[in-house]
Amino acid sequence: MIDVKLIRDDADGVKQRLATRNVDTGPIDEVLKLDENWRAKKHDAEQRQAALNKANKAFGTWMGGRKKNPEMPAPIELVELLGETPPDPETAQVKLRELGETKDKIEGEAAAILNQIEAHLLHLPNLPGAKTPVGRTEADNVVVKEWGKPTEFDFEPKAHWDLVGDKGLELEIGGRISGSGFPFLRGKLAKLERAMINFFLDLHTAEHGYTECWTPFMVRGETLRNSSQLPKFYDDLYRADERDDLYLIPTAEVPLTSVHAGEIIADEDAPIRYCAYTPCFRREAGAAGKDTRGILRVHQFSKVELMVVTTPERSDEEHETLTRCAETVLEKLNIPYRRLELCTGDMGFGAARCYDLEAWAPGVGKWLEVSSCSNFTDFQARRAKIRVRDKDKNTRLAHTLNGSGLACPRTMIAIIENNQRADGSIAIPGALQPFYGAAEL
């Protein structure tokens, strides 16, 4: 969520910045109006509550006093609020109840307005960072780095689906069991998948300082709200069923972001870095019919995720570090890749800045997104109530970041297609051999 105070203080600025994300800024004006309304109601209700609190205390004292002295007169605080001297406690009670009901009504109106404000805010994306390139579509993303040269072949490189048909890519079986988009791996490819996961995890824990986590794969709606998949992206999620209000996670980002929900973290304990392997489940509702061949786009895939909680001062630096950790995986696998900085119009909902890492896949002849490294600034932290506290006890919202390190299917495609030989055999990259246990697939 973006900060309602920002809208209060600089609605035009917020509108300008959000407009670069191709967002309808109408709700901003609406929020501005509602907020003004809310504050008036809220203030009114609190004034009434303050008066009632005083009177109720006085009433209690009066009741206590009358036990000893039945002639005790009504206390001044009570008389002040009621505007008259009550003849007896019963009369005072009736008046207090009426005043309380009026207060409740105003309070209820304020709460209803606050709900409307929140409903708007939950559907507004994060403000883009000051350095985020402005642009409308993915064509406006900026290639900020290229690593390695696209692999050259003295033969026509094949696509992965033509290379590993006899090595365990069993799409028909997956289809039979679950449907299209649920790949089934058997034998060598199944082992390759496991080798990749172990390689990723070992690298990030042993060399990059991340703490390995094992998380639930099903989560509550509230957890998805914290990391901003809900309410806006309900259609992209798999939900258990009406008996259990649980959803299958689309990424380990979801459980990891909520690890410290509601907590205040000491500055010196930040950054906190977590990594986790999980399967990821995505309906890919908006992408039906796109990239359907092979394992380019699937409903279930493995991913090792990197997640960081840090201070606002440090998040830019952590963003670079995190992205480097993901890049290191590709470099160790010797996969040519490029880093894109996404423009305002193409960034994910919660991101203020985002780098995509794209691996070169010579068989399909495309750059494949294998990682997306985002700085969410305080967007998720505001929803999840994650804060940090400095030495002087100033608390402020934490910043959260995450990125894939990496996603398996597309990385597997890159491995297969970049390491193919003319005879159709596939070499295993050196870094992966200890995990796979052989030099060839």
Partner RNA sequence: GGAGGGGUGGCAGAGUGGUUGAUUGCGUCGGUUUCGAAAACCGAUUUGCCCGCAAGGGUAACGGGGGUUCGAAUCCCCCCCCCUCCGCCA
Task: State whether the Cα torsion 371-377-379-385 is positive or negative.
Answer: positive
Our finding on whether 433 is near RNA (CB under 7 A) is: no
Residue 410 designated active-site = yes
In three-state secondary structure terms, 228 is coil
Q: Can 282 be counted among the known catalytic residues? A: yes
Select from 185-193, 251-259, 361-369, 388-396 the region that touches RNA (CB under 7 A). 388-396
User: To 5 degrees, how large is the angle CA 123–CA 142–CA 150?
Assistant: 125
Q: Which of 49, 116, 300, 328 lies at the binding interface for RNA (CB under 7 A)?
A: 49
Q: Which is nearer to RNA, 97 or 186 (by Cβ)?
A: 97
213/427 with CB nearer RNA: 213
Say whether residue 41 binds RNA (CB under 7 A).
no
- The residue with tokens 């894109």 is 340
Kindly state the smallest distance separating residue 64's Cβ from RNA, in Å.
Answer: 7
282, 283, 339, 383: the catalytic one is 282
Name the active-site residue from 297, 339, 353, 382. 297
DSSP-derived 3-state class of residue 59? helix
Alpha helices by DSSP H, listed for 187-302, are 188-202, 221-226, 253-257
d(CA 205, CA 211): 6
Q: Applying CB under 7 A, which part among 42-50, 205-213, 300-308, 408-416 lies near RNA?
A: 42-50
Of 66 and 338, the one with the shorter C-beta distance to RNA is 66
Tell me the number of residues near RNA by CB under 7 A. 28
Q: Which of 13, 30, 33, 50 binds RNA (CB under 7 A)?
A: 50
- State which of residues 2, 96, 280, 432 lies at the interface with RNA (CB under 7 A): 96
283 and 178 Cβ atoms separated by less than 8 Å: no
Number of Cβ atoms within 10 Å of the Cβ of 112: 12
264 binds RNA (CB under 7 A): yes
Query: Cα 226 vs. chain centroid, distance in angstroms?
Result: 7
Contact 133, 142 (CB under 8 A): yes
Q: Based on CB atoms, which residue is closest to RNA, 219 or 276?
A: 219
Closer Cβ to RNA, 105 or 324, answer by number: 105
Q: Which is nearer to RNA, 226 or 374 (CB)?
A: 226
Q: Is 283 a catalytic residue?
A: no
Does the annotation count 297 as an active-site position?
yes
* Contact call for residues 309 and 270 (beta carbons, < 8 A): yes
Q: Pick from 13, 16, 26, 53 the residue near RNA by CB under 7 A.
A: 53
Distance CA 127, CA 129 (A): 6
Q: Which stretch binds RNA (CB under 7 A): 9-17, 45-53, 65-73, 249-257?
A: 45-53
Interface positions, 3-32, toward RNA (CB under 7 A): 4-5
Q: At closest approach, how far in Å is the CB of 93 from RNA? A: 4
Instruction: Closer to RNA by CB, 42 or 145: give it.
Output: 42
The amino acid at 180: S
User: Which of 11, 19, 32, 52 is the binder for RNA (CB under 7 A)?
Assistant: 52
Report the DSSP beta bridge partners of residue 213: 276
Residues 6+ apart with CB under 8 A from 192: 185, 412, 415, 428, 432, 436, 441
Question: The tokens of 204 are what?
Answer: 């990030």
**Could you say whether residue 97 binds RNA (CB under 7 A)?**
yes
- Sheet arrangement for strand 211-213: 142-147, 337-341, 353-361, 366-375, 399-407, 300-310, 272-281, 211-213
Q: 80: part of which helix (H) or strand (E)?
A: helix 76-82
Residue 4 CA, chain-centre distance (Å), reads 19
**128 CB neighbour count, 10 Å cutoff:** 23
Amino acid at 430: G
93 contacts RNA (rule: CB under 7 A): yes
Per-residue binding string, RNA, 98-117, x by CB under 7 A, is --x-----------------
For RNA, which residue of 15, 42, 145, 338 counts as binding (CB under 7 A)? 42
Residues 6+ apart with CB under 8 A from 296: 364, 368, 409, 410, 413
Stretch in the footprint of RNA (CB under 7 A) among 38-46, 66-74, 308-316, 422-430 = 38-46
Q: In this chain, which of 33, 57, 176, 186 binds RNA, going by CB under 7 A?
A: 57
| Nearest approach, Cβ of residue 174 and RNA (Å) | 22
Rounded to an integer, what is the distance from CA 74 to the centroid of its chain?
57
Among 29, 33, 43, 422, binds RNA (CB under 7 A): 43
Residues involved in catalysis: 282, 297, 369, 372, 410
The residues binding RNA (CB under 7 A) are 4-5, 39, 42-43, 46-47, 49-50, 52-54, 56-57, 59-61, 63-64, 93, 96-97, 100, 264, 387, 389, 393, 395
